[in-house]
């Protein structure tokens, strides 16, 4: 019965929002997966979330650092050409 309601919800979402239906369904599945992980193993899921946030912060820092260094090299290259 739950599967039928889920399929009906997918049908209604796609019928009402034809352009944005699939991303809405995908986001719903991702959020449901996260919620089920926290229900099944709360401590492991919390540890995974902390690890993911640490990686995200590190990646953002490296992207910013690369952008600043790239801009500095472009500026240095432009100034040495004149």
Nearest to 13 by CA among 34, 28, 2, 31: 28
Q: Which residues contact 13 (CB under 8 A, 6 or more apart)?
A: 21, 24, 25
- pLDDT confidence of residue 54: 86
Confidence of residue 80 (pLDDT cuts 50, 70, 90): confident
Is the full-model pTM beyond 0.85?
no
Q: Mean per-residue pLDDT for 6-10?
A: 73
- pLDDT confidence of residue 1: 60
Q: What is the pLDDT of residues 19-72, one digit of tens each?
A: 777 777 777 777 777 777 777 788 887 888 888 888 888 888 888 888 988 888
Q: Which residues contact 46 (CB under 8 A, 6 or more apart)?
A: 38
Residue 68 near residue 60 (C-beta atoms within 8 A): no
Whether the pLDDT of residue 82 is over 70: the answer is: no
């Amino acid at each position: 019965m739950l599967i039928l309601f889920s399929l009906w919800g997918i049908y209604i979402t796609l019928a009402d929002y034809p352009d944005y239906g699939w991303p809405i369904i995908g986001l719903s599945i991702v959020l449901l997966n996260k919620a089920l992980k926290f229900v099944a193993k709360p401590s492991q899921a919390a540890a995974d979330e902390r690890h993911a946030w640490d990686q995200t912060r590190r990646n953002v820092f490296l992207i910013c650092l690369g952008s600043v260094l790239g801009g500095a090299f472009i500026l240095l290259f432009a100034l040495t050409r004149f």
